[in-house]
Every structure is written in C-alpha cells, then in structure tokens.
Amino acid sequence: MGRRKTIDRDEVLRLAEQLVAQNGVSALTIDSVAKAAGITKGGVQSCFKNKEMLIDAMLKRWGKSYDESVEAIAGSDPAPMARVDAHIESTRIADQASLGKAAGLMAALIDTPDHLGWIRDWYQARLEGIDLKTEEGRRARLAFLATEGAFFLRFFGFMEIDDESWLELFSDIWSINHQAIEKP
C-alpha cells in the first residue's frame, strides 16, 4: 500500500490566490483550485471544506500579511495617525502581485454578507481613533481614502497606472497627509 500524499494547505491557498489574481474571482472554484494544485476536489475540501472557508482562509492570510507590513513600518501598537501613514506606505511599497491578490479577494468577498461585514469592520478599524474634528484627522481620512481609491482604480483595471505614476501618486497622497490644507 502506498504512502498517503500529504496536502500542503499553504500551497493550496497560494495557488487559490494566484488563480484569483491572474483570472479574477470567477476562476475561484474548488475544481479549479484542485486542478492547479494537482489534487482532487476532495483534497481541497479536506483542507477548506467549501469555497466560503477557502475565502475565509485567504482573507485571514491577507490580513496577517497586511498587519505584518503595517507593524514593520509603524510598530506593534501605532497611534491612529501613524497607522494611516503605515497603511499608505504599505500600499505604496507592496508588490503588484500582492495587491492584485488583495483586489481579487475583496471582489470575491463582496458577494457574501458575512464577508462584506468583515470588510466593513476592517475599514472602520483603519480609521478608528482619528479625530475628524481636527484638520489633521480630516487630512488623514482623505489620504486613507485616496490610497484606497488608487488601489481600486489600478488593481480592478479601471485606470492604467504605471509604476512611475504609482510612486508619484503616493508622493502626492503623502503630501496631503503631512501639510496644511489651505482653506478657500
């Protein structure tokens, strides 16, 4: 009797993320992940049970990666304004593949109310503690929203933004967040 093949859960997850990044959310099926991983559909289901649990695992993995990136920039318990700066910098320096995976994952999550709630909570937490009664707080919110807008425009293919323009755009966003806005 042959030895049972061990399924590398992280590799299956990586391949699922790659499918979404390369082919869009519609490519994410248990069958397509199984084919990409060279295992049976039952093998994928033994790791993740169903597509929703696969998406949950992708979301947790992305969240962990994001948190590690922000922590590397701003420390383990950044103040709200430092957290926004770290978000801007983390998005600016992330490689295209990582951001493409994140965009695909977000598109997948919008279809399910539970996942959409997670996204809403995640966004709420990014701006938590920012005093929107201050000019500094309003600039931080604007810079955060500009960062997200640039991310969505580029990675959903709504606007072509080459690498040089990406860096220039983030220089502008950084400036918005770190200088006084003149009142009309």
Q: What is the CATH number of the domain that holds 152?
A: 1.10.357.10
Output the pTM of the full model.
0.78
Q: Over the chain, what is the mean pLDDT?
A: 85
Percent of the chain residues past pLDDT 70, beyond the cut: 85
In this structure, is residue 150 part of a structural domain?
A: yes
Contact yes or no for 147/91 (Cβ under 8 A)? yes
Closest to 147 in 3D by CA, of 99, 69, 92, 66: 92
In this structure, is residue 111 part of a structural domain?
A: yes
| Domain that includes residue 125, residue range | 9-178
In this structure, is residue 184 part of a structural domain?
A: no
In total, how many domains does the chain have?
1
Query: Does residue 2 register a pLDDT over 60?
Result: no
